[in-house]
Amino acid sequence: MTSTFSFAKSGTPARAQVLLVDDDEVNLLLTALALRDRGFDIFEAASGERALEMLVGWTPDLVLLDALMPGLDGFSTCRALRRVVGLQNLPVLMLTGLDDDASINRAFSAGATEFFVKTTQWSLLAWRMQYMLRAARNLAELERSKSKLARAQDLARMGSFDWRRGQGMAVSAEALRVFGLGPKDHATMRTLLRMLPLDDRRSLLRLLRERLRSSSGVDTDAPIVLLDGKRRILHVEAEPEYNEHGHSIGYTGIVQDVTDRREDEYRIRHLANFDTLTGLPNRHQVIWRAQRALEQARRLGHQFALLLIDLDRFKDVNDAYGHSAGDELLMEVGRRLRACVRHSDQVMDGALETAGPRSHRSLEAVGRLGGDEFVALLPEVAADEDAERVAQRVLDVMREPIIVDGQECFVTASVGVALYPRDGTTVVDLLRNSDVAMYSVKNQGRNNSAVYGPHLAGRGREKLELESALHKAIERNELVLHYQPVIDVRVGRMLGVEALMRWQRDGKLVPPGDFIPLAEETGLIVPLSEWALREAARQAKVWQQAFGFAESIAVNLPSRMFERSDLVENIHDYVTQAGVPHRVIKLEITERTLMKDLQQVIPSLHRLNEIGIEISIDDFGTDYSSLAYLTMLPISELKIDRSFVKDLGITPQSAAVVNAIIALARALGLRVVAEGVETLRQMDSLHKLGCNVMQGFLFSKALPADELQRWLENTLLPRKAPWLGPAVEAEHAALPNSDANGGSRQVS
Amino acid sequence: MTDRQPPQPPPGPLQPPVPPQTLDAAALARLRELDPDGRHGVLQRVLTAYEISLVRMHAQVAAQLDAPDAEVLKSVTHTLKSSSAAVGALSLAQCCSELERGLREGTVVDLRAEVRRLLAETETAQSAVEAMLHP
């Protein structure tokens, strides 16, 4: 309708255009006059033919049509105009005689909107016309909103349907499109249901019947296969309809294509619940499943098992082949592990469907907790053996080499098993205890499985954490050297320092006893020692520049270092780079180190000696030494172990040992240093036995580098320490030329 | 302009053809209401159109005297019925209405007599209109 009465901006309707058709001049004239007077825009036509001519390219808001006219009468005219495109909904008011029932019937069958008895009571006619215009306006509005709705539904891939008992389905054109059908296609409940795969069809039918019985609403998704084979997911929502007696007569609802939305949702859920690398359930999903399994196990009174699977030496693979190869390996491991259980990939984040008492079976899965750590969840086991069987299967599938980066790679795993409820009643406890069990396997040589037991608790994990933290300690600059002065008590002079490693971890100082053994066990001691050597050389240079330090810094050298062929070269490099003489570094090795592999150690010692580096035997007397070899070794110092010093003056045996060591050292031309001197009495005893070089708390604990300088300036040089009493004075009397400052020049 | 209509005069009973000399006052009043100050000459135009119509219809009816055609008569009476009522030629309107119904229901006994009556009524109306238009 091009010129329908439209709403002016003010909101009041413009004058309605009315086509008035009457063959009688008098009526035409009078009606036109009367209606114009009442606000209508009247266009006159004296015949049906004339009216149809006028309606070409023009659409009035209303047609007033005299029923009986010569030539084309009102009925024929009405029929003709209804055939014109765009005039189907044009309001037509047919004017008939007062008692002309036949005309009224004919008027409606000809497509008239309404009839009115010819009258000279113009107001009645005008009111009827206004009413018709209002109705037409509402109808147009309705049509518009219907088409808007249709478009909206089309955009939302949505359509509506009605189902009536005994009458079947009525499906809107939009809904037909959702089903991939054309607007002319006929869709029955049967044809639509046939688009569902059989299983889904059965379950949907079950649901529909159940809802129908209870007269409740339907709100469900249904997968369908369109005629072209495409798979879509439809959302169906319907509410029951009732007749005036309150009886359910059917359903009215909508159907919407939600494929994209569901796929997005699925993707999101998948990302949130599955590991992107292996495609296995991730930590979140594993824990969720474990929680459900635990609830089920508690409810039904059975056991369930968690297997923690950790690859052995996965780090080596990563180090050797790179991370992408490591990823490749993890993917293959994931595939193999999946085959060890009845793995279910279903995303689960809602309640378990009430699909029978064995529904917890669907929780069974292998998941990846992160890194090289996997977990297998067995939702129901009768005994340890069930879990151990799966653990064995896991170990078995790892036996085959994995091809990584074109190379065969052998990976083993350590598996720890924990059973609910025996080994824990919460998922957290079970995970922790399977972890403990897994570490017990690691500690006992890996590539095995173990079931948790209370005796295992408290081991493993901390150590590993420590190990991994220690790995990073060097690069994070968490290691520091502290220095303990070595004193010649006769002259109150510092002969050198012993460097002792400290680890500042998370703001706390870790004592060497807590990490050196671990570093030795894991081989980390090598990089640690190399760092210590480099750091000692660097510090020597700093001190040299600060106060003319020219003594030696003793660094402990573990036996592992002697396995390195480049040991001597490295030390040479360190001191050269630092710009200090070789003799600044002194190496302390234990008797045990020395005797472990003499053949390997001796050549290194000789070469070290050649470049000017002195060797000191640490903890002397605690282990056995082959005295014969001792005479041949290029060593220059023996350090008496603190255990002998501690008992000096308490047990006569210790004095005897110390005495023997001193005698031996003298005989071999070696210097003797006493460690762990804490009291004046110990100092006095050592002095009397002929040992004048000592270190220990009596003089100073090991100090940070800058504090050592302060200690020199504030304690040693001003001679303020209590131990700088008797021995020193006695010596001073005996040695008139001794220089109290010794090798250390005065700091000023 | 008021929506209130003056009461319609009751349709006259069947009377002998005594021609009324004037048009119905109420009908004329309604017509005048359409043009209260006479600016548009509505009454003049309507009566002129009616007069033309009457002349045409009279000729058509007169042609039916010998062999009356019900269809032609139906059309004439239908047209004349409402326009006559509109201008206040109530007797003619009544006559048309009765004949139209009689034709439709097939109850007309003497069609020629009815035609003669219609002619007479038409002429009466003509003279009344003439009297209005050309006093």
Interface predicted TM-score of the whole assembly (ipTM), two decimals: 0.76
State both tokens at A664: 């031996």
Q: Is residue A465 part of a domain?
A: no
Say if residue A481 is in the same domain as residue A602.
yes
Residue tagged 């570093």 (tokens): A519
The B residues from 106 to 135 touching A (CB cutoff 8 Å) are: none
- Beta strand pairing status for A552-556 and A585-590? parallel
Nearest chain A Cα distance for residue B53, angstroms: 7
Chain B nearest-CA residue for A66:
B79
Q: How far apart are CA A590 and CA A561, in angstroms?
A: 12
Who has greater pLDDT, A344 or B91? B91
Chain B residues inside the 8 Å CB shell of A99: 101
State how far the alpha carbon of B134 is from the alpha carbons of B67, B91, B92, in Å. Answer: 35, 21, 20
CATH number at residue A413: 3.30.70.270
User: Terminus-to-terminus CA distance in chain A, angstroms?
Assistant: 108
The B residues from 37 to 96 touching A (CB cutoff 8 Å) are: 40, 42, 45-46, 49-50, 52-53, 74-75, 78-79, 81-83, 85-87
Chain A nearest-CA residue for B26:
A120
Chain A nearest-CA residue for B73:
A70
Decide: helix, strand or coil at residue A359. helix
Say if residue A504 is in the same domain as residue A355.
no
Nearest chain A Cα distance for residue B86, angstroms: 6
Are B83 and A70 a contacting pair at CB < 8 A?
A: no
pLDDT score, position A379: 92
* Beta bridge partners of residue A225, listed in sequence order: A231
pLDDT score, position A742: 37
Q: Is residue A715 part of a domain?
A: yes
pLDDT score, position A729: 55
Q: How far apart are CA B133 and CA B87, in angstroms?
A: 12
Q: Is residue A124 part of a domain?
A: yes
Chain B nearest-CA residue for A120:
B86
Say yes or no: B24 contacts chain A, CB-CB below 8 A.
no
Choose the closest CB to B53 out of A25, A33, A34.
Answer: A25
Say if residue A550 is in the same domain as residue A622.
yes
Say yes or no: A105 contacts chain B, CB-CB below 8 A.
no
Q: Is residue A145 part of a domain?
A: yes
Last residue within a domain, chosen from A121, A150, A179: A150
Say yes or no: A39 contacts chain B, CB-CB below 8 A.
no
State both tokens at A230: 């495409």
Q: How far apart are CA A168 and CA A165, in angstroms?
A: 6
Q: How far apart are CA A539 and CA A584, in angstroms?
A: 10
Residue tagged 């001193």 (tokens): A662
Q: How far apart are CA A547 and CA A626, in angstroms?
A: 41
Half-sphere exposure in the Cβ direction for B50 (13 Å, CA): 33
Say if residue A205 is in the same domain as residue A83.
no
In chain A, how many domains are there? 4
Mean pLDDT (whole number) for A84-98: 86
Mean pLDDT (whole number) for A415-422: 94
- Summarize pLDDT for A5-34 with one digit per residue, the tens: 444 344 445 789 999 999 888 888 889 988
Are B86 and A27 a contacting pair at CB < 8 A?
A: yes
Q: DSSP letter for A11, please.
A: S
Q: DSSP letter for B6, please.
A: P
Say if residue A54 is in the same domain as residue A97.
yes
Domain with residues B25-133, CATH architecture: Up-down Bundle (1.20)
Chain B residues inside the 8 Å CB shell of A97: 78, 81, 100
Say yes or no: A1 contacts chain B, CB-CB below 8 A.
no
Percentage of chain A exceeding pLDDT 70: 91
pLDDT at B15 over 80: no
- Summarize pLDDT for A551-606 with one digit per residue, the tens: 999 999 988 888 777 889 999 999 999 999 999 999 999 887 777 777 778 888 89
**Which of the four pLDDT bands, split at 50, 70 and 90, describes residue A238?**
very high
pLDDT at B17 over 50: no
Max avg pLDDT among A733-737, B7-11, B91-95, B101-105: B91-95
Q: Is residue A7 part of a domain?
A: no
Say if residue A65 is in the same domain as residue A206.
no
Neighbours of A271 (CB within 10 A): 11
Mean pLDDT of chain A: 85
Mean pLDDT (whole number) for A258-265: 88
Chain B nearest-CA residue for A97:
B78
Q: How far apart are CA A351 and CA A291, in angstroms?
A: 12
In degrees rounded to 5, what are phi and psi of residue A503? -120, 115
pLDDT at A634 over 70: yes
Chain A residues inside the 8 Å CB shell of B27: 120
- Beta strand pairing status for A248-257 and A231-242? antiparallel
What is the identity of the amino acid at A596? K
Mean pLDDT (whole number) for A421-447: 88
pLDDT score, position B131: 86
Q: Is residue A142 part of a domain?
A: yes
Say if residue A508 is in the same domain as residue A652.
yes
State both tokens at A299: 């409810």
Who has greater pLDDT, A532 or A318? A532
Q: Is residue A425 part of a domain?
A: yes
Last residue within a domain, chosen from A228, A257, A286: A257
Q: How far apart are CA B105 and CA B80, in angstroms?
A: 19
Find, among A693, A211, A325, the residue nearest to A496 by Cα: A693
CATH number at residue A611: 3.20.20.450
Choose the closest CB to B49 out of A26, A37, A121.
Answer: A26
- Summarize pLDDT for A636-674 with one digit per residue, the tens: 999 998 888 988 878 888 888 888 889 888 888 899 999
Say if residue A244 is in the same domain as residue A314.
no
CATH number at residue A32: 3.40.50.2300
Decide: helix, strand or coil at residue A113. coil
pLDDT at A461 over 70: no
Say if residue A358 is in the same domain as residue A416.
yes
Chain B nearest-CA residue for A102:
B104
Say if residue A304 is in the same domain as residue A352.
yes
Q: Is-contact A491 A736, C-beta < 8 A?
A: no
The least confident of A61-65, A184-188, A699-703, B11-15 is B11-15
Q: How far apart are CA A642 and CA A618, in angstroms?
A: 10
pLDDT score, position A538: 95
Last residue within a domain, chosen from A227, A257, A287: A257
CATH number at residue A178: 3.30.450.20
pLDDT score, position A748: 33
pLDDT score, position A726: 56
DSSP string, A191-254: HHHTTS-HHHHHHHHHHHHHHHHHT--EEEEEEEE-TTS-EEEEEEEEEEEE-TTS-EEEEEEE
Q: How far apart are CA A337 and CA A343, in angstroms?
A: 9
pLDDT score, position A99: 65
Say if residue A499 is in the same domain as residue A562.
yes
Contacting residues for A747 by C-beta, under 8 A, at least 6 apart: A546, A547, A548, A709, A712, A713, A717
List the domain boundaries for chain B. 25-133
pLDDT at A189 over 50: yes
* C-alpha A333, offset from chain centre: 20
| Mutual angle of helices B90-105 and B70-87, in 10-degree steps | 150
Per this entry, what is the length of chain B?
135
Are A25 and B100 a contacting pair at CB < 8 A?
A: no
pLDDT score, position A637: 92
For residue A508, the surrounding DSSP H or E stretch is strand A508-510
**Which of the four pLDDT bands, split at 50, 70 and 90, describes residue A499?**
very high
Are B46 and A37 a contacting pair at CB < 8 A?
A: no
* Cα dihedral A515→A520→A526→A529 (10° resolution): 50
Find, among B64, B88, B89, B91, the residue nearest to B76 by Cα: B64
Residue ranges making up the domain that contains A415: 274-459
Burial bucket for residue A67 (CB in 10 Å: 0-12, 13-18, 19+) = buried
**Which of the four pLDDT bands, split at 50, 70 and 90, describes residue B75?**
confident
